[in-house]
């Protein structure tokens, strides 16, 4: 009888220990997972799209663009956008048509360039 009690006690203690370790591992893994995904979200850019529109305003650090619908990114609207290279703000003029690359969840225009006006003969 006594022997059995001791065995049960030891087995109980062992199981408790194993459960604790497993729990700790699970918690550690969950935290690592969370940190991992957050890090990746910050690092990787979303899907890219091409945004085309007309410049309606130039601010110190952004461009107000009247743009058409960008499928999967944004409806047609006029709104200010940050730019990746502020140098473009010195060369672009109100009324210019621009083309830029945008990424999901990021309201910054990348690689902005002015689209030359269509020659008269090609206009409808």
Contacts to Cu ion by CB under 5 A: 74, 77, 79
Q: Is 86 helix (H, G, I), strand (E, B) or coil?
A: coil
What dihedral do alpha carbons 4, 6, 12, 14 form, nearest 10°?
A: -120
Q: How far is the CB of 82 from Cu ion (least distance, A)?
A: 12
Q: How far is the CB of 64 from Cu ion (least distance, A)?
A: 10
| Residue closer to Cu ion, measured from CB, 36 or 68 | 68
Q: How far is the CB of 63 from Cu ion (least distance, A)?
A: 11
| Residue closer to Cu ion, measured from CB, 49 or 92 | 49
Decide: 45 and 103 in contact? Cβ < 8 Å: yes
d(CA 21, CA 111): 51
């Amino acid at each position: 009888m006594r022997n059995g009690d001791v065995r049960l006690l030891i087995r109980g203690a062992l199981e408790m220990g194993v459960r604790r370790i497993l729990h700790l591992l699970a918690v550690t893994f969950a935290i690592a997972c969370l940190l991992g995904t957050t890090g990746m979200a910050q690092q990787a850019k979303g899907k890219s799209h091409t945004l085309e529109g007309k410049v309606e305003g130039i601010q110190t650090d952004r461009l107000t663009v009247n743009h058409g619908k960008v499928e999967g990114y944004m409806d047609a609207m006029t709104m200010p956008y940050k730019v990746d290279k502020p140098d473009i703000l010195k060369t672009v003029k109100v009324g210019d048509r621009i083309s830029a690359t945008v990424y999901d969840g990021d309201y910054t225009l990348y690689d902005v360039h002015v689209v030359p006006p269509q020659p008269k003969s090609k206009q409808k």
